[in-house]
Amino acid sequence: MLKQPKESSKHNLDRPPCSPVCKSWGIWEEALQSTQQDDRAHAGAPKYATPFGAEDPTERPERALLRPQNFFHSFSNSPAPGIRRRAAFMKSHAYCPHPDHRQTRVVLSPQDPEARKAARKSTQTPAFVDFECPDCGIPVYCSEKHWMDDYESHAEICDTLRQANEDDHDLHSGRYFHEFRYPGPQIEEILVNMTNWDTYLYTREFNAINEDRSMRQATRMLTYPVTIASIIHELSPYNIRAGGRLTVEGLKSFSALRYTVHPERTGGGPGVKGLRLKPPPARIFILGARAESSIPRDVWIQLEYLFHRATFHLIFIGPESMTNRDAEFPLPERTSANPFGGIVEDRLSHNTKITTFVEYYHTMHKANYFQPFDPYFDCFVLFHPGLGHPASAHEWEETVPQLLETKVPIICTGYTEWDMQRDKQWVEEKMAGEVDMLLEPGENTFRSLRWDLNDMDPTDLSCGNWGVWAFRGKRYETTMKD
């Protein structure tokens, strides 16, 4: 087992929201599509024999480029062209973290390697990384001399860098990704256990995932819909018991939303006699959307399968919400019926609709485009928003007060504990006490188990949705006076 780095070590630097690590799901989508193509190609072929008489995908003709025992390669000498291009990008953009070099940017956190440079008052000119560590294969220092001199610091994250290296090569290996075969709708009589990833995958009847690497690849995409579901589901792991992190105000807010996403049976069914009135869909606004808007739709549909008879409308909003979706350009023309040029996907399933707007939320809020808001039907989600990050805080100063006005829940995630606490502090300071905490900041039960590299700083590793917390605008209850 590879040792995972501690939360307090330097690799966990929080990054600005536009970091290259979160901009593209291209290789993930290729892996998913390749798996689906294999399934379709073998759908009419004779099934391979197994002890249970069913087809075993592992017995299919192999077309893998790399084998599990051969996943480790230095980035520059990788057999995958995409990884070699990443190595070239790192060597022309990432700076050597050795403390002898002069500082290249503002220190962002106490664990930032730049803090060592500031403390030493270094004089050497900044240099790009060029030397690849023979143990992890990642370009991390400008020279072998600096790597050897700072090896004690690098050793803290070397094992995890190697794990990230092998995981990246696994995605480019061309193997059959059985972990990307997703189950269909959940039988209503079978409850989903949302205690952790293992119980969720088992009760949702995913194919057995017996390897740590496959588990990391599977959770990297599933963390987005399952994080939302884990908070608004009636079987949520977050509660008001000791250590459950849910506050009394949070119980009030999420109980209202749960009433909508867990509707009662109405006796409806097919045919005219089965027609019944249905409530409006639950609207989930994903603000500042980037890579999450381009996640394969099969992944987002998993959210719907956890809620029987409920309907969802996912709304991605943000200037980068069309990242990695080049095939959908040009954007729709802005008309009176579609004033913000929304891209509507309403053929995904009977219960899920997705709309994408390449626009800032505060502009649409001023136009009253989504009003009225209802705590029973609406929820905001901010994945790694960087509310308190120096590079992005100014973009949220106008938006957050508007979100608080709606009085609906606002769910936020963060790369690290430091990232979350800084965002929380920014909200509390800027909003001057007009905030009710719904879910205390802490580690996300359904965070990604995979570590991702930041190509602008290879020593910066993070997990998608590592932590989660929630808040809303303060509500003032009417009281009677004698």
Helix or strand or coil: residue 264? Answer: coil
Question: Which spans in 204-346 are helix H?
Answer: 212-232, 248-261, 297-304
Range with lowest mean pLDDT among 50-64, 366-380, 406-420: 50-64
Q: What is the pLDDT of residue 51?
A: 30
Q: Report the distance separating Cα 167 and Cα 221, nearest Å.
A: 14
Q: Report the distance separating Cα 455 and Cα 210, nearest Å.
A: 30
Of 447, 376, 364, 433, which Cα lies nearest the Cα of 404?
Answer: 433
> Strands 457-463, 451-454: parallel, antiparallel or unpaired by DSSP?
antiparallel
- pLDDT greater than 60 at residue 16: no
Work out the average pLDDT over 349-357.
94
Got the DSSP string for 156-187?
HHHHHHHHHHHHHHHHTS----GGG----PPP
**Mean pLDDT over the full length of the chain:** 86
Q: Kindly indicate the confidence band of residue 340, based on its pLDDT and cuts at 50, 70 and 90.
A: very high
pLDDT (tens digit per residue) in 110-120: 777 888 877 77
Compute how many other C-beta atoms are within 10 angstroms of the C-beta atom of residue 255: 12
Q: What is the pLDDT of residue 267?
A: 82
pLDDT (tens digit per residue) in 198-235: 999 999 999 999 999 999 999 999 999 999 999 999 99
Is the pTM for the entire model greater than 0.85? yes
User: CB–CB of 282/249 below 8 Å?
Assistant: no
- Tell me the two tokens of residue 434: 């007009």
Per-position b or e across 80-96, b if 16+ CB within 10 A of its CB = beebbebbeebbeebbb
Q: Which of the residue ranges 46-55, 99-108, 409-418 has the most confident prediction, judged by mean pLDDT?
A: 409-418
Helix or strand or coil: residue 60? Answer: coil
User: CB–CB of 19/454 below 8 Å?
Assistant: yes
pLDDT (tens digit per residue) in 136-145: 999 999 999 9
